[in-house]
Amino acid sequence: MANGKKAIRKFGIRDCIGYAFGDFGNDFTFILSSTFMMIFYTDVMQVDGAIVGGLMMAARFVDAFTDVAMGQIVDRCKPGKKGKFAPWIRRMCGPVAVASLLLYASWFQDMPMAFKIFWMFFTYLLWGSVCYTGINIPYGSMASAITDQPDQRTLLSTFRNFGATLASTVIGVVLPLVVYYTDDSGRQILSGTNMSIAAVICSIGAVVCYLLCYNLTTERVQVPQKNEKFSLKQLGLQLVHSRPLIGIVVCALILLLTQLSLTGFGPYLYPYYFKSNTMMSVATACLTAVTIVFSFIIPVVSKRIGKKELSTVGAIIGAVAFFILFVVHTTNQVVFLVLYAIGMLGIACFNTLCWAMITDVIDEDEVRNGERSDGTMYSVYSFARKLGQALSSGLVGAAISAIGYDVNVYDQGVADALYNCTTIVPAIGFAVLALALIFLYPLSKKKVDKNSAILAERHAGDHKNA
């Protein structure tokens, strides 16, 4: 106790673990959607892939409004005993879980097509644009309130990515073993009933993880309530003139487009081209192994050479690995998985560091403008990630429809086209990501360290004057 105030617990491993559980909860529904929603609606609900992808893409543009609106709500809410951001996690964990499980309503598979399309669109909007936005914006913004130290934020970003990896492992390794069944002709088919049961289990897991995040983390940095009138014009000018924000937004969009296109093609490629649903589990296990191993290395290396610099190296490695896969066009599962694992370095590096990079962008904005807008800035970044999700959904849906995929008919030409799409799209995506990091995103290690020193001096002065 000091001056009648309760002492605040120091930053430590408890915060890191709690923050990891937050993204574990996020990705119980997000990865489930990006991995299985499209194939659920094409194979179980019998909706054309182009329609599924188009509706998923259209729904995400609604987030241009809901994400920014949620960012403004968070910035303007008054901090409570638990802080400014954490209460939203407890408040929204139930709604996002219920909305997610409603997406996989296999009991409606015999309903008229118009109803199934309506249900898909309605529940996808409810989950992604309303409920997921309502919990993800405060959760992502909370990192800058947990600590103001760059190295500790990098640690939070690392643990956040580790939490996301755990969710990816559960969904990508376990679910393919239980949601598919083998029909009389030997083909592996997605089971609608099993998919619905899996969605319920994932929703329960999400709520548990969110509550652990709420109880284990502590907000130490006081983020004041914003009271000035919101100006869309002023926000637009602020965004246009912020090169760091433009850079991280473009990089996030490219990364999500790359990663989720790879994730989207996977459930079609492995059972259809390689004739093995278990290979999907192995591929996810490869990503998990790469992420876990390098989660201990990436923070150390990035501290020495910088987050931007290390992410660029990872993107180049990813581009080369997937381009080789495209050229060799292998049917050998071991060769494919080895090069796949190497390519995953591109995702592991950026995903591990990107959450610390957005706090660097927020710091840069505070240095330039003298105030923080954590919720609003993060909401713009979140929208970019959702836009990447939307574009990947549209791309996968259009490609599946264009190549003539039919779960009931095997065609070697379709199988080869699936392989080509799964390899060349990430190869191009990683190459473009590397170029964006090099030429567009300006926050090098030197610049980040300089901003941190400026803000530390400024905040120290504020405390003395308080």
The average pLDDT across 331-337 equals: 91
The average pLDDT across 264-268 equals: 84
In angstroms, the CA 386 to CA 61 distance is: 8
What's the fold here for domain 13-221+230-465? Answer: Growth Hormone; Chain: A; (1.20.1250)
Helix ranges, 142-181 (H): 143-146, 150-169, 175-178
Please, which pLDDT band fits residue 433 given cuts at 50, 70 and 90? very high
Tell me which range, 146-155, 285-294, 453-462, is most confidently predicted by mean pLDDT.
Answer: 146-155
Q: At residue 88, what is the residue type? A: W
The average pLDDT across 41-51 equals: 88
DSSP-based three-state secondary structure for 251? helix
Q: Which of 196-205, 337-346, 350-359, 417-426 has the weakest average pLDDT?
A: 350-359
Q: CA 315, 351, 237: angle at the middle one, nearest 5?
A: 90
Percent of the chain with pLDDT over 90: 30
Percent of the chain with pLDDT over 70: 90
Cβ contact 122:94 at 8 Å: no
In angstroms, the CA 344 to CA 323 distance is: 13
pLDDT given for residue 226 in this prediction:
64
Number of residues written out for the chain: 466
Q: What is the mean pLDDT of the chain?
A: 84
Burial class (CB in 10 A: 0-12, 13-18, 19+), 234: exposed
pLDDT given for residue 375 in this prediction:
64
pLDDT given for residue 373 in this prediction:
67
The average pLDDT across 387-406 equals: 80
Residues with Cβ within 8 Å of residue 438, at least 6 apart in sequence: 312
Residues with Cβ within 8 Å of residue 250, at least 6 apart in sequence: 384, 436, 440, 441
Q: Is the pLDDT of residue 1 over 50?
A: no
Please, which pLDDT band fits residue 4 given cuts at 50, 70 and 90? very low
Q: Per residue in 151-188, pLDDT tens?
A: 788 788 788 888 888 888 888 888 888 888 877 766 77
Task: Dihedral sign for Cα 42, 51, 136, 348, please.
Answer: positive
Strands 188-190 and 180-182: antiparallel
The average pLDDT across 122-137 equals: 90
In angstroms, the CA 354 to CA 350 distance is: 6
Cβ contact 396:38 at 8 Å: yes
Tokens 């003298």: give the residue: 370
pTM (whole model) above 0.75: no
The average pLDDT across 229-240 equals: 60
pLDDT given for residue 294 in this prediction:
76
Q: From residue 119, give the alpha-carbon distance in Å to each of 45, 56, 104, 111, 410.
A: 11, 12, 10, 10, 29
Q: From residue 458, give the alpha-carbon distance in Å to each of 99, 133, 361, 363, 372.
A: 44, 32, 17, 12, 13
Greater pLDDT, 290 or 19: 19
Q: Per residue in 62-86, pLDDT tens?
A: 776 787 788 778 877 777 788 888 8
Q: Is the pLDDT of residue 234 over 50?
A: yes
Q: Is the pLDDT of residue 465 over 60?
A: no
Residues with Cβ within 8 Å of residue 437, at least 6 apart in sequence: 247, 251, 308, 311, 312, 315
Burial class (CB in 10 A: 0-12, 13-18, 19+), 64: middle
pLDDT given for residue 228 in this prediction:
58
Q: At what angle do helices 278-295 and 243-272 cross, to 10 degrees?
A: 150
Please, which pLDDT band fits residue 441 given cuts at 50, 70 and 90? very high
In angstroms, the CA 34 to CA 375 distance is: 25
pLDDT given for residue 309 in this prediction:
93
Greater pLDDT, 240 or 326: 326
In angstroms, the CA 231 to CA 207 distance is: 35
pLDDT given for residue 236 in this prediction:
61
The average pLDDT across 190-199 equals: 92
Domain coordinates of the chain in residue numbers? 13-221+230-465
